[in-house]
Amino acid sequence: MINDLEQILSASAKRMKRSVIRELLKMTQRPELISFAGGLPSPESFPVEQLKQVVSEVLDTDSARALQYSETEGDKRLREILVNRYRKSGLNVSLNNLIITTASQQALDLIPKILVNPGDKVICGLPSYLGGISAFAVYGADLIGIELDDQGMRADLLEQKLEYLKSKGQKPKFIYVIPDFQNPTGICMPEKRRIEIIELARKYGVLIVEDSPYREVRFSGQPQRTMYELDGTGQVILLGTMSKIFVPGFRLGWVLAHENIIDKLVVAKQNTDLCTSSFVQKIAALYFDKGYFETNLARTNSLYKEKRDAMVEAFHKYMPQGVKWTEPEGGLFLFVTLPDYMDAEDLFKIAIDENVAFVPGTVFYCNGKGKNTLRINFSFMSKEMNVEGTRRLANAIKHLIR
């Protein structure tokens, strides 16, 4: 092994950090420990029997293409299915507007790859998805956080920041938002706020990256139109994934954007992995064509609603006074705010002793704040474990009450 590895590593490699959540998951493998740390779909949602049938049919009828390289843009049939779904929702899109990616995390890497130079400004929420923050930081983005309220990113603070940057001769490369059941807070942004942010993006000439992994995981309330649809001018780049609504292990995602942006993403992806797995794309396309997707999504949402309801009820029953939490209409997470004097990292150590785990909120804040916050996943554990884990977490919090 060479002795000067640190000296020869690239600047990008030196900016890379291990995923805090992935590392936490390694610590939470004890069978007696209830983990709310990962953003994991429930194995109960996986359509195993249907997939056995679909996989067999793909191999029997289309093995030559399924096991071969595919186009970088993605399997044509799968892209047609996704485009048609968006058209039914009111979007004016074509195949030229969509590329399949290796889950949406690859899209979060490709977008700064084509847009960001070291030192460029990127705006995100306070808090925001750790995987996005990390991906942007690797390319040297200077992350600027905008606080959220109960409707998502605050448009008034966003405008103040954009105006300030303009006065300094600076323009962010994009605004990163998760409008539907935001990770980590679970907040769903109402249409009025979406329009306000779009109008600001137009006014200041800034792209919007709309990350939408949880949009179809809705249990109650009315769906909001995507920012992509509300904009309609190419100002928005929309990211989607099947990880939360189909099978996370397939690593299937996509980007919907202006065809000029898609063209650049195609080139970037060619230099990254050539193409996403042909096999899993063929499986997904046939799964949709057989009509299995909608039925299983409805079943999954019903399952997650029961789990969320059980956890929320337990929070009301067990949590001490001064603790606040979100009660989302969909998604996978609750976001918990402790009294100001508490530190979630101190709580984590106590919680582990109580055999319950979560993700401390600081990892979701690009400015290092959020010490009194934490993210809780309700989709992975059973209803009974959600209740018991909440009781354990409440006991841990009581150790820190003054």
Count of beta carbons in the 10 Å neighbourhood of residue 400: 16
The arrangement of strands across the sheet holding 174-177 comes to 98-102, 252-256, 236-241, 207-211, 174-177, 121-126, 142-149, 152-153
280 and 346 in a single domain? The answer is no
Beta strands in 283-357 (DSSP E): 324-325, 333-337, 356-357
Count of positions (residues) in the chain? 402
DSSP 86-100: HHHTT----GGGEEE
* CB hemisphere CA count around 198 (13 angstroms): 22
Angle of helix 278-289 relative to helix 76-88, nearest 10 degrees, comes to 50
Given the DSSP bridges, would you call strands 252-256 and 98-102 parallel, antiparallel or unpaired? antiparallel
Q: Which residues pair with 139 in a beta bridge?
A: none
311 and 379 in a single domain? The answer is yes
234 and 365 in a single domain? The answer is no
For the whole model, what pTM was predicted? 0.94
What's the CA gap between 30 and 293, in Å, rounded? 34
Helix (H/G/I), strand (E/B), else coil: 223? coil
**Cα 102 from chain centroid (whole Å):** 14
Residue 2 domain flag: no
190 and 43 in a single domain? The answer is no
* Backbone torsions φ then ψ of 138, nearest 5 degrees: -60, -35
Report the largest interatomic distance among the alpha carbons of the chain, rounded to a whole angstrom.
66
DSSP 6-18: HHHS-HHHHH---
**Domains identified in the chain, total number:** 2
Residue 313 domain flag: yes
Host domain of residue 180: 48-292
What's the CA gap between 159 and 284, in Å, rounded? 41
* CB hemisphere CA count around 360 (13 angstroms): 22
| CA-wise closest residue to 200 among 136, 157, 260, 242 | 157
Domain end, chosen from 234, 257, 292, is at: 292
Domain end, chosen from 233, 262, 292, is at: 292
283 and 389 in a single domain? The answer is no
Helix (H/G/I), strand (E/B), else coil: 63? helix
Domain end, chosen from 292, 318, 342, is at: 292
Residue whose tokens read 């359509």: 47
238 and 337 in a single domain? The answer is no
369 and 267 in a single domain? The answer is no
31 and 145 in a single domain? The answer is no
CATH of the domain at 318: 3.90.1150.10
Residue 299 domain flag: yes
CATH of the domain at 265: 3.40.640.10
217 and 84 in a single domain? The answer is yes
Count of beta carbons in the 10 Å neighbourhood of residue 211: 27
Per-residue pLDDT of the chain (402 residues; tens, 9 = 90+): 567 777 776 777 777 677 665 566 665 567 889 999 999 999 999 999 999 999 999 999 999 999 999 999 999 999 999 999 999 998 999 999 999 999 999 999 999 999 999 999 999 999 999 999 999 999 999 999 999 999 999 999 999 999 999 999 999 999 999 999 999 999 999 999 999 999 999 999 999 999 999 999 999 999 999 999 999 999 999 999 999 999 999 999 999 999 999 999 999 999 999 999 999 999 999 999 999 999 999 999 999 999 999 999 999 999 999 999 999 999 999 999 999 999 999 999 999 999 999 999 999 999 999 999 999 999 999 999 999 999 999 999 999 998
What's the CA gap between 169 and 162, in Å, rounded? 10
Q: Which amino acid is at 196?
A: E
Residue/partner pairs of 292-300 with CB below 8 Å, 24 or more apart = 292/47, 292/50, 292/54, 293/245, 293/246, 296/45, 296/47, 296/50, 296/246, 297/216, 297/245, 299/45, 300/41, 300/42, 300/45, 300/217, 300/245
55 and 91 in a single domain? The answer is yes
Give start and end residues of each alpha helix (H) in 232-291: 259-270, 278-289
CB 348 within 8 A of CB 23: no
CB 267 within 8 A of CB 107: no
| CA-wise closest residue to 104 among 244, 263, 21, 213 | 213
Q: What is the pLDDT of residues 286-303, one digit of tens each?
A: 999 999 999 999 999 999
347 and 269 in a single domain? The answer is no
53 and 184 in a single domain? The answer is yes
